[in-house]
Structure 1
Amino acid sequence: MKSDADTQELLARLTAQFLRRTPSDGETTTIVPGLTLMRLSGPTVVQRGMLKPSFCVVAQGEKIGQAGADTTIRYSAGQFLASSINMPVAGQVLHASKARPYLAAVFELCPADVLSVLADAKIQVDATAPCCPATFVGTADARLLDVVLRSVSSLDDEREARFFAPLLRRELIYRLVTGPSAFAVAQSALQSRPDDGVGRAVEWIKTHFAQPLVIDELAKHVNMSTSSLHHKFKATVMMGPLQYQKRLRLEEARRLLLSGLADATRAAFDVGYESPSQFIREYRRLFGTSPMRDVKRMRDGARTAHLG
């Protein structure tokens, strides 16, 4: 069994790999689909967005954020953040410097891949257990870090990286579902299945977020009682269905504004608001300023980051 010393050695080797492969701050897209490296050389302001189904392991630095309505998440070197659904999150890097930047690897992981590994490895999960959050922090043991290190190291050879990527991804999932956070990983994947009540509800809201949402009708659509839907949805997504819809609407509106595809009024109607004034109020409440000032702030920040 690998020791804490092994874990620290693996983190040191991962850090060296990340530093060599991330020439500047920001995201570095790799030749392996679904694998991104992150580097930030200083603390950041709070940033909001949508977390995709993924696994993010930190090699150096520390980050804090909020998932769902009010759940605080904090993770640092040797820990990971995992999510099995598209989750609205806010986060900021706390500890990072030019000498010791924040370093992390992000693997996109869909629930279907996790369920496939569970089935092939004949791992049983109690589907009747109480719901747990679909986004959570866990500890990366030495076996899991070893797979991450081999995945990053394989990038030296493009043919080798592409060949081994699917195998390493399945091994990564296997280590997740047999490691310290096995139950949370497995159950969150089960809860996110399209044939599961909560999973179906999430998918319906994602697809129809611009349409009016009537909870009783959604409950019937996913074959659940209204009370059961409320309870299980909030336990899994860490916010109610209407809150989730609102976050999806505001995040999409922000994307439209930033891309220049719409002004505030057009964005409000496109994402389902009947009143532009209500949209502006809710946008300001979430992002801290008006839509146009927020877009200007993000564009100025992007230019500053690029110049820096």
Structure 2
Amino acid sequence: MRGAACRIRQDSCTIRQDFASAAPNTSTMKSDADTQELLARLTAQFLRRTPSDGETTTIVPGLTLMRLSGPTVVQRGMLKPSFCVVAQGEKIGQAGADTTIRYSAGQFLASSINMPVAGQVLHASKARPYLAAVFELCPADVLSVLADAKIQVDATAPCCPATFVGTADARLLDVVLRSVSSLDDEREARFFAPLLRRELIYRLVTGPSAFAVAQSALQSRPDDGVGRAVEWIKTHFAQPLVIDELAKHVNMSTSSLHHKFKATVMMGPLQYQKRLRLEEARRLLLSGLADATRAAFDVGYESPSQFIREYRRLFGTSPMRDVKRMRDGARTAHLG
């Protein structure tokens, strides 16, 4: 399909995938200029509100600002359901088993489930630090906006990844800018935060990445299908996992569960359980609540030696050396 680009459109209040010819126009050029202006204003706001590297927790629950003044080492962990928009700098990482993700200024990383990821800042310096805003969002928030706006999702569409990169258009960046700017006044920030969050979601489900945002929220619902399977594994990760029993629990066939789970989570159920176990073991070790043997048993391993092998395979070194490395101050970044 030469000269065509995948596009999202909203027809008859239904979000669907479509293909249309890509033809530049003056409105697109104006939009690009608006986007660059908004990114510059966002950068100025971030620099003023992040006096040092790391995470800056704001007075608005669920809104965190990030600043990093140089490239970082790879950081592994679980990405919470969230929306992270970059104002300056670039990151590269991996979501699921082996899906590469790369995003920079004017782009965002979104996830509708707790997703195993790895990431590192590529381009950043003291003069031009990596700057980003992270908004916690859950599928219920997105589904609520879809319902209130009377926007339907094409139920016949195939599953799409629950974690993905998108482009932030000018309307979306404007909401982010107003959210950050409101932090000057605590009462104003707290009052407008719920309204701005809903507007943010509305811009996401009516913008260039509408299909991915809406579809990932729909298929990640904790009360149905893959979303229900994800929730069960998160709650019972230390227990033995039998795929046939999990499929019955979520009212799916075993083959359908495998196919849809991998399409959504970008890894199989057993891989997802293993990542949850190893991430929790790492948390226990780092907090000093357990040694390697105790952590192995606590997260469901029957063999400490198997635990150590799988821990080394994921994190690149033994559990105790990994903890020492992290405590010694290895430079890391937020997963968003």
* TM-score in same-fold range (> 0.5): yes
Secondary structure, counterpart of 2:331 in structure 1: helix
Distance 1:199 1:285, change over 3 A: same
Deviation at 1:3, TM superposition (A): 1.4
Deviation digits for residues 185-241 of structure 1, max 9, x if unmatched?
000000011222100000000000000000000000000000000000000000000
Q: CA RMSD in A?
A: 2.3
Alignment match of 1:19 (pick from 41, 47, 52): 47
Alignment match of 2:226 (pick from 198, 211, 217): 198
CA contact (8 A) 1:87 1:135 kept: yes
| Unpaired runs of at least 5, structure 1 | none
What percent of counterpart residues are identical? 100
Question: Which deviates the most, 194-203 or 78-87?
Answer: 194-203
Distance 1:114 1:307, change over 3 A: closer
Deviation at 1:128, TM superposition (A): 2.4
**In the aligned structure 2, how far is the partner of 1:100 from the partner of 1:304?**
18
CA contact (8 A) 1:190 1:196 kept: no
Normalised by the length of structure 2, the TM-score is 0.89
Deviation at 1:302, TM superposition (A): 5.7
Distance 1:6 1:307, change over 3 A: closer
Deviation digits for residues 15-38 of structure 1, max 9, x if unmatched?
000000001000000000000000
CA contact (8 A) 2:159 2:264 kept: yes
Distance 1:212 1:34, change over 3 A: same
CA contact (8 A) 2:77 2:335 kept: no
**In the aligned structure 1, how far is the partner of 2:256 from the partner of 2:263?**
11
Deviation at 1:127, TM superposition (A): 2.1
Aligned to 1:169: 197
Distance 1:46 1:305, change over 3 A: closer
Distance 1:205 1:304, change over 3 A: closer
**In the aligned structure 1, how far is the partner of 2:96 from the partner of 2:282?**
18
CA contact (8 A) 1:35 1:107 kept: yes
Deviation at 1:304, TM superposition (A): 11
Deviation at 1:303, TM superposition (A): 9.1
**In the aligned structure 2, how far is the partner of 1:140 from the partner of 1:177?**
12
**In the aligned structure 2, how far is the partner of 1:303 from the partner of 1:179?**
35
Deviation at 1:306, TM superposition (A): 15
**In the aligned structure 1, how far is the partner of 2:325 from the partner of 2:160?**
36
Please list every run of at least 4 consecutive aligned residues from structure 1 whose deviation after the TM superposition is greater than 3 angstroms: 302-308
Deviation digits for residues 218-270 of structure 1, max 9, x if unmatched?
00000000000000000000000000000000000000000000000000000
CA contact (8 A) 2:79 2:335 kept: no
Distance 1:275 1:307, change over 3 A: closer
CA contact (8 A) 1:65 1:73 kept: yes
**In the aligned structure 2, how far is the partner of 1:306 from the partner of 1:171?**
25
Secondary structure, counterpart of 1:307 in structure 2: coil
**In the aligned structure 2, how far is the partner of 1:72 from the partner of 1:302?**
23
For these two proteins, the number of residue pairs brought into alignment is 308
The structure, 1 or 2, with the larger RCO (C-alpha pairs under 8 Å, 6+ apart) is 2
Deviation digits for residues 64-108 of structure 1, max 9, x if unmatched?
000000000000000000000000100000000000000000000
Alignment match of 1:87 (pick from 115, 124, 134): 115
Secondary structure, counterpart of 2:86 in structure 1: strand
Alignment match of 2:130 (pick from 73, 84, 102): 102
CA contact (8 A) 2:72 2:332 kept: no
CA contact (8 A) 1:284 1:290 kept: yes
Distance 1:303 1:138, change over 3 A: closer
| Unpaired runs of at least 5, structure 2 | 1-28
Structure number with higher helix proportion: 1
CA contact (8 A) 1:29 1:37 kept: yes
CA contact (8 A) 1:2 1:142 kept: no
Secondary structure, counterpart of 2:330 in structure 1: helix
**In the aligned structure 1, how far is the partner of 2:127 from the partner of 2:46?**
13
Question: Which deviates the most, 125-134 or 282-291?
Answer: 125-134
Normalised by the length of structure 1, the TM-score is 0.98
**In the aligned structure 2, how far is the partner of 1:306 from the partner of 1:237?**
20
**In the aligned structure 1, how far is the partner of 2:155 from the partner of 2:75?**
34
**In the aligned structure 1, how far is the partner of 2:308 from the partner of 2:154?**
44
Q: Is the aligned partner of 1:284 residue 2:312?
A: yes
Alignment match of 1:76 (pick from 65, 83, 104): 104
CA contact (8 A) 1:127 1:190 kept: no
